Structures are given as structure tokens and as C-alpha cells.
Amino acid sequence: MIIKPRVRGFMCVTTHPVGCEANVGQQIDYVKAQGPIPNGPKRVLVIGASTGYGLASRISAAFGAGASTLGIFFEKEGTEKKPGTAGWYNSAAFHKFAEAEGIYAKSINGDAFSDAIKEKTIAEIKADLGQVDLVVYSLASPRRQHPKTGEVFNSTLKPIGKDVTQRGVNTDKETIENFTLVAANEDEINNTVAVMGGEDWQMWIDALDEAGVLADGAKTTAYTYLGDKLTWDIYWHGTIGAAKKDLDKRVINIREKLARTGGDARVSVLKAVVTQASSAIPVMPLYLALLFKAMKADGSHEGCIEQVYGLFKNSLYGDAPIKDEEGRLRADGLEMRPEIQAAVAQMWDDVTTENLLATTDFAGYKREFLRLFGFEIDGVDYDADVDPVVEINNMA
């Protein structure tokens, strides 16, 4: 099959297995070039391990610290007629590269919110690893079925308390438009917290702890985004922000539990990057196009792998973790610099449909977006025939 990108809104419905493999290979090369993470983790569970920040976490642990990794994700494999999801191909590639270096990797494909997948994970840890010393929680999902009540919650990306009108880019038409988002009602807020808040993280840690598969000194982290004034209406002060504030609440309990055996739990703040999750958030494509412009101009541009490798080395396993007053680990310092935010704000006022490509790095945004699906990767022959059916070695 010859596979070309087919973009529909904030999704690309096709994916390229060879491009995804090259993408994973480049992230591994980055980590190897940076060198080992001293005192890094050795047995790591990554929940949401197939794309974005979770994949970068798995790569940093395995290739930065030589860790055995168990990855949980929810992906579709390809068939003769239809490519699989990017996360499927990324994981197949990760396994291949890890195996080639004798690094243990196993993966479980299924709904991480369910009790069944938690039980299966515990059984795999017991059988192969004994215990884990790091649990990375990196799920991003639009829905969650509650494991105890069976209720299905859908998340929304809306402001709270007021309607918000903000300029954004229509990514299909490549035009600048005003987007109005209507304030969420109480149910929408609660449902978003149920999906993206900390309850499931807590359930995971409770289940792992009860099963005795958390090593003494085990750590866990869940990822969050804070942003600055420009995105607050939609993000931090909106429904997704309410869910992220729930992580900040829940982490206290989780930390107390792990502290009993010398461990720790932290929410880690990462910068805005292009992922399948972030491209679905209104305003984010324009914010990212402007942020890339500002950060590339001063040489501080970073993607998932740079962020997570830095988080592991400096904060999760560093001697002097970068922490804020709330006790969160911070890797978003470069994005939050006042001069970067001011530059983004200025460009936001100036951008029009006509000057979109000159004022912003929308071209860079689009490239990053297509790369998520295995396209736009240098050295990949997109006219060549590829087999969409790719096995993941060592699936549980």
C-alpha cells in the first residue's frame, strides 16, 4: 500500500508505519546522544505509552536509563486495507529497537481505565518484573467508562463561568477566525474531571500498592500543563484546567502513600507541544504556531523527547529538582519566560489570514502535526509500497 496523509480536522486518518518507526528512532538517537540518566529508574510502567509525552517517557526510561518498560495504550493495529494508529506503529518500532539492544519491553493494548487492564498489568509485573520503581501516568482521552459504576463520561474543552471569543487558526482552510466557545455547564465540568482528573491515577496507584508491585522508593508522576494568560481562558481556567487541578489535589494522598516506603508522587508540568491530544484543543494550534516562532527564534524550541529527558534527568532523578510552590516539577520554564509570552501575545494581535505564514510558524506546526502520523520525516520514501500490517513483538 502507498500511504499519503489524509487530514480531517484535528486528525490525520492515515498513518505511515515506516515514518513512525523513523520518528521513534530519532527520539532514541536524541536520548542516546544526551547520555545516560544517572540513578535513573530500572523497571517502569508507562500508562499512555504509545504517543506524545508517554512515548517520550518510555524512550527516556529505556534508552536513557536502560529500564525495562511495560507500556499500556489503546491503539488499533493495521489491516491489509487500512493503516493502524500511529501509536501502534510507534510501539512496534519501540519494541524492535529495545529488543535489538537487549532491553526488556512488554505492552498491553486495552482500556487503562478498566479494572481488567489494571489486573492484567499487575499480573505481568509479577510475572516478569516483580515490582516497578516508576509509574508514569500520561493518558489523554476524550472519554472514560468508570470501572465501578459503568457510567461513561465524555470530556469537553470549554471555558468556565463565561463564554470566550478568541482568535484561532482554522487548520483546514488556513484562515484566522474568531472562535466563540460557550461556557461549560456543571455536568460538563464534572465529566471532564472524571475523564482527565486524578481519580484513575489514584486507582492505579492503589491497585499497584495493594498488589505489592510497587518497589520501596517507587515514584510516580502525572503530566499537566499550566500555560500563561494567553491560554488560561480555554485551558487552566476551563474544563481541562479543572481536571488538571484535580491532579494537584489527588497527588497529596498518593504522595503520602508512597512516602511510607521512601517513594514520591509529583505532578510534572510540561510545555505545550503538538500531540494528538493538544491539536484537539481550540486555540492551541495558533498558540503553538506562535510559540514555535518565538522559541525557534531564540534557539529554545523543544518537543516531547527534549522535555521528558530533561524532566527525568533534572527533576525526577536529579539532585536539585526544579519545583514550584505547589510541589510540582517544572519543565516548562523556557516557555513561561515573560519575553516569550510577550512575543507570542504581540504576534497574536498582529496575525491575519494574509500574514499567517510570515508572522507565525504555522508551517512548522503543520509539519509537526503530520510527523505525529509518520509523515514529513526526512529519508522516508513516501512513494514506496509499505505493509500496513506490523506486529508488536512481546504484547501481553
Ligand X SMILES: NC(=O)c1ccc[n+]([C@@H]2O[C@H](COP(=O)([O-])OP(=O)(O)OC[C@H]3O[C@@H](n4cnc5c(N)ncnc54)[C@H](O)[C@@H]3O)[C@@H](O)[C@H]2O)c1
List 19, 41, 52, 303, residue binding ligand X (CB under 6 A): 52
Number of residues that bind ligand X (CB under 6 A): 29
State the minimum distance, in angstroms, from the CB of residue 226 to ligand X.
Answer: 8
Catalytic site includes residue 89: no
**C-beta separation of 2 from 26 below 8 A:** no
**C-beta separation of 64 from 29 below 8 A:** no
DSSP H stretches of helix in the chain: 17-34, 52-65, 86-100, 115-124, 186-196, 199-210, 229-232, 239-259, 284-297, 304-310, 333-336, 338-350, 356-359, 362-371
- Mark the segment that binds ligand X (CB under 6 A) among 19-27, 52-60, 254-262, 387-395: 52-60
Q: Which of 30, 89, 223, 235 is catalytic?
A: 235
For ligand X, what does the binding mask look like between residues 358 and 387, x meaning CB under 6 A?
A: ------------------------------
Give the CB-nearest residue to ligand X: 52
State the minimum distance, in angstroms, from the CB of residue 161 to ligand X.
Answer: 21
Residue 192 binds ligand X, judged by CB under 6 A: no
CA distance 307 to 304: 5
Q: Is 312 annotated as a binding residue?
A: no
Residue 209 binds ligand X, judged by CB under 6 A: no
Amino acid at 173: K
Q: Is 384 annotated as a binding residue?
A: no
List 69, 224, 341, 359, residue binding ligand X (CB under 6 A): 224
Q: Is 75 annotated as a binding residue?
A: yes
What are 207's three cell numbers? 491497585
DSSP states of 222-257: EEE----HHHHTTTTTBHHHHHHHHHHHHHHHHHHH
**Directed axis angle between helix 338-350 and helix 284-297, to 10°?**
120
DSSP states of 92-111: HHHHHHHHHTT--EEEEES-
List 37, 72, 234, 290, residue binding ligand X (CB under 6 A): 72
Q: Interaction with ligand X in 84-113: which residues (CB under 6 A)?
A: 87, 111-113
Q: Is 300 annotated as a binding residue?
A: no
What are 236's three cell numbers? 487552566
Residue 225 binds ligand X, judged by CB under 6 A: yes
Q: Is 214 annotated as a binding residue?
A: no
Q: Is 48 annotated as a binding residue?
A: yes
Q: Is 52 annotated as a binding residue?
A: yes
Burial of 384 (0-12, 13-18, 19+ CB in 10 A): exposed
Q: Interaction with ligand X in 137-176: which residues (CB under 6 A)?
A: 138-141
Q: What b-and-e string marks burial along 223-244, b requiring 16 or more CB atoms within 10 Å of the CB?
A: bbbbbbebbebbbbbbbbbbbb
Residue 391 DSSP label: P
State the minimum distance, in angstroms, from the CB of residue 385 to ligand X.
Answer: 27
- Mark the segment that binds ligand X (CB under 6 A) among 219-227, 253-261, 310-318, 354-362: 219-227
**C-beta separation of 104 from 396 below 8 A:** no
Q: Interaction with ligand X in 238-297: which residues (CB under 6 A)?
A: 270, 272-273, 275-278
Select 54 or 83, whichever has its Cβ closest to ligand X.
54
Select 169 or 215, whichever has its Cβ closest to ligand X.
169
What are 175's three cell numbers? 484562515
CA distance 213 to 223: 22
State the minimum distance, in angstroms, from the CB of residue 22 to ligand X.
Answer: 18
Select 14 or 276, whichever has its Cβ closest to ligand X.
276
Q: How far apart are the first and last CA of the chain?
A: 28
Beta bridge partners of 177: 168
Residues that bind ligand X (CB under 6 A): 48-54, 72-75, 87, 111-113, 138-141, 223-225, 270, 272-273, 275-278
Binding residues for substrate: 225
Binding residue ranges for NAD(+): 48-53, 74-75, 111-112, 139-140, 244, 273-275
What is the set of active-site residues?
A: 235
